[in-house]
Every structure is written in structure tokens, then in C-alpha cells.
Amino acid sequence: MLLTAGQPSRRQCWNRRRGNELQSGELERWTRLYNILNRHANAAEFWYIDRLPAEPVDGRPDLHVHSLEPIAVRLTLSKTF
């Protein structure tokens, strides 16, 4: 079960992308900026039953989270053949 749908905006992560074409469409360059505000939050939260080796056979219901990545910049240069 995914729990983040409809959660308050405090979990939002701001990302931006800018780019343009070079040499009549054969080359593209992009700059992408991820997690601009460097939020320390969960990108997704899942509630399900799992079992580790030392836990009961029936497993244990638990919350599993995937954290946001820290602020990052990605530069891309691509060529179309």
C-alpha cells in the first residue's frame, strides 16, 4: 500500500530542468537540478508485512520508506544519429 498519495505539500520535492538544442537539432544539452530545497523527507512510504530471519513465521506489519536523494545536479549532452 502506497501511503504518500494525497499527503500534505511538506513532502514535495522541487526539481528543475533546462536545456536547448545545438547544431540544428543534432546535439542537446540539459541541466537538471534535483531536490532544490534539500528536503530531508521520504519520497515514498509503503506499509506491508515482511519477515526477517529472526522474526515470527507470519511476519510483521511495518512501514518501509524510501528517502529523497540529497540535492544533486545532472549535466547531460546527447547526440542524435
The pLDDT tens digits for 20-78 are: 888 777 889 999 999 998 888 888 889 988 888 888 888 888 888 988 889 999 999 99
Question: What is the sign of the dihedral through the CA atoms of 43, 45, 41 and 9?
Answer: positive
The rounded distance, in Å, linking the Cα atoms of 10 and 28 is 34
pTM: 0.58
